[in-house]
């Protein structure tokens, strides 16, 4: 290598990633490169860095040699590319045992991983919303660099009390771990609205759920899907829409941990013995007064009558789902920032005040309308402290 170019590379430092792709997949490759650079990584990307006057072969060789890792954008077209094969094989030869994780295969469509490619752990970006694909990309890249993928949040205690819902009815392939739920699927992930009307069902410990989610805990709780009996699978997204006379809007989100199954009805006075249920890993709750207002949703995210459901089970189209995911993330971030801006000396007790806010906003308003003994024991069924309503 000539001295001038050696000094240039030494001063700039190696690239974090060299993106290897074939021309027909340039859109995917550019999307990956953009989000990596936006996250602070240095990326060598042919469409950006092979500018007029540069030596294409020298630049590619520099990328293969000096980048810490090579990202192989896998597709059927890439597997048939001579240049692509040379690039990923060079990374494999530099790290045959995978100790330094020099090769990072990313599938952008359902395709084989023949030969040595099949021995290197990969991940997939297809079949996801843009927000989910970005999250998966950055999470896997972080794990690749760190050498492990320990979750940031404490996992749920496995020895806790069982839910009153008979989750054995969601057995077999219907129940999957978090890793399995995030694995590749050619199916577009669905987004369902679950609804809650406090006038129909009291959730006395909702303030505790809010505080637990703010502390980073995942709440493993079932919810009714209304009349919907199919079309929801593990990994699908769920948003909780608050209904009734008070605030109306999105107050919670989670991920399905099962397919739909049948179990005892949440309403003891219902003429139906069973309701449709899905197990949900709830990741976020906010107080009713902090809801993502339904009027904002109606105004900014066209979804037909989707924001005025009569019960749980409405599935949003892909465009509305992606827009909701982004709007909800911004909304929650803002609410958390406001809540945490108070100095420790001024901060009220969140458990006490959170419960008082919820009770003042919802539960006390309904107390005079219901007799709890009638709703819990009218059919003589077993206790349902965590039974979740369909509306």
CA distance 188 to 127: 5
- Helices and strands (H and E) in the chain: how many: 14, 13
How many structural domains comprise the chain?
Answer: 2
- Residue 279 zone, left/alpha/beta (φ > 0; ψ -120 to 50; rest): beta
**Do residues 326 and 207 share a domain?**
yes
Would 209 be classed as within a structural domain? yes
| Lookup: tokens for 184 | 């590749």
State how far the Cα of 282 lies from the Cα of 195, in Å rounded to an integer. 14
> CA 91, 94, 100 angle in degrees (round to 5)?
85
Radius of gyration of the chain from its Cα atoms, rounded to whole angstroms: 25
- 199 and 136 in a single domain? The answer is no
My answer on whether 128 and 204 are in the same domain is no
Assess whether 191 and 293 both reside in one domain.
Answer: yes
Do 88 and 209 lie in a common domain? Answer: no
- Longest Cα–Cα distance of the chain, Å, equals 87
> Is there a single domain that holds both residue 243 and residue 110?
no
Q: What is the CATH number of the domain that holds 219?
A: 3.10.590
Whether 28 is covered by a domain: the verdict is: yes
Same domain, 138 and 215: no
Q: Examine residue 210 and state whether it is found in any structural domain, yes or no.
A: yes
Whether residues 371 and 249 share a domain: the answer is yes
Q: Are 93 and 209 found together in one domain? A: no
- What is the length of the chain? 391
Question: CATH number of the domain that 102 lies in?
Answer: 3.40.50.10140
Range of the domain at 94: 14-146
Q: Is 313 part of a structural domain of the chain?
A: yes
Beta bridge partners of 71: 19, 104
* Nearest-5° Cα angle at 15, 9 to 19: 130
Query: E strands within 84-208?
Result: 103-107, 123-124, 191-196
Are residues 138 and 184 part of one domain?
no
Predicted confidence pLDDT, tens digits, the chain (391 residues): 344 333 333 334 478 999 999 999 999 999 999 999 999 999 999 889 888 887 777 877 877 888 999 999 999 999 999 988 889 988 888 888 889 999 999 999 999 888 888 889 999 999 888 888 998 999 999 999 988 888 766 776 666 544 555 555 554 344 444 444 444 344 578 999 999 998 888 888 888 888 888 888 888 888 989 889 888 988 899 999 999 888 899 999 999 988 888 887 766 666 667 888 899 999 999 999 999 999 999 999 987 667 888 889 999 988 899 999 999 998 988 766 555 444 333 344 444 444 344 444 434 444 444 444 444 443 333 333 344 444 4
């Amino acid at each position: 290598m000539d001295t001038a170019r050696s000094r240039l590379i030494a001063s700039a430092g190696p690239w974090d990633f060299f993106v290897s792709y074939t021309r027909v997949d340039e859109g995917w490759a550019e999307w990956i490169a953009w989000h990596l650079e936006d996250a602070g990584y240095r990326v060598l990307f042919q469409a950006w860095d092979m500018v007029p006057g540069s030596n294409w072969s020298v630049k590619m060789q520099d990328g293969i040699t000096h980048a810490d890792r090579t990202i192989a954008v896998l597709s059927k077209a890439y597997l048939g590319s001579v240049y692509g094969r040379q690039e990923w094989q060079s990374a494999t030869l530099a790290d045959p045992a995978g100790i330094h994780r020099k090769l990072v295969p990313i599938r952008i469509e359902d395709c084989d991983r023949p030969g040595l490619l099949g021995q290197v752990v990969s991940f997939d970006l297809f079949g996801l919303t843009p927000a989910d694909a970005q999250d998966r990309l950055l999470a896997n890249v972080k794990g690749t660099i760190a050498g492990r993928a320990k979750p940031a949040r404490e996992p749920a205690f496995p020895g806790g009390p069982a839910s009153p819902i008979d989750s054995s009815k969601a057995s077999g392939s219907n129940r999957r771990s978090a890793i399995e739920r995030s694995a590749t699927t050619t199916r577009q992930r669905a987004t369902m609205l679950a609804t809650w009307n406090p006038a129909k069902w009291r959730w006395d410990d909702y303030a505790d759920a809010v505080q637990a989610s703010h502390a980073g805990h995942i709440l493993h709780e079932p919810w009714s899907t209304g009349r919907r009996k199919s079309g929801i699978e593990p990994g699908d997204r769920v948003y909780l829409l608050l209904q009734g006379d008070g605030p109306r809007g999105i107050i919670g989100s989670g991920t399905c941990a099962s397919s739909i199954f049948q179990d005892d009805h949440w309403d003891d006075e219902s003429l139906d013995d069973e309701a449709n249920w899905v197990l949900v890993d709830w990741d976020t709750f906010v107080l009713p007064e902090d809801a993502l207002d339904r009027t904002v949703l109606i105004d900014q995210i066209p979804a037909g009558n989707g924001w005025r459901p009569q019960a749980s089970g409405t599935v949003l189209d892909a465009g509305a789902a992606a827009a909701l995911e982004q709007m909800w993330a911004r909304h929650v971030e803002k609410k958390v920032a406001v809540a945490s801006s108070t100095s420790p000396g001024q901060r009220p007790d969140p458990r006490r005040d959170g419960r008082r806010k919820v009770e003042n906003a919802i539960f006390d308003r309904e107390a005079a309308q219901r007799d709890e003994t009638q709703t819990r024991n009218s059919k003589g069924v077993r206790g349902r402290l965590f039974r979740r309503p369909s509306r």
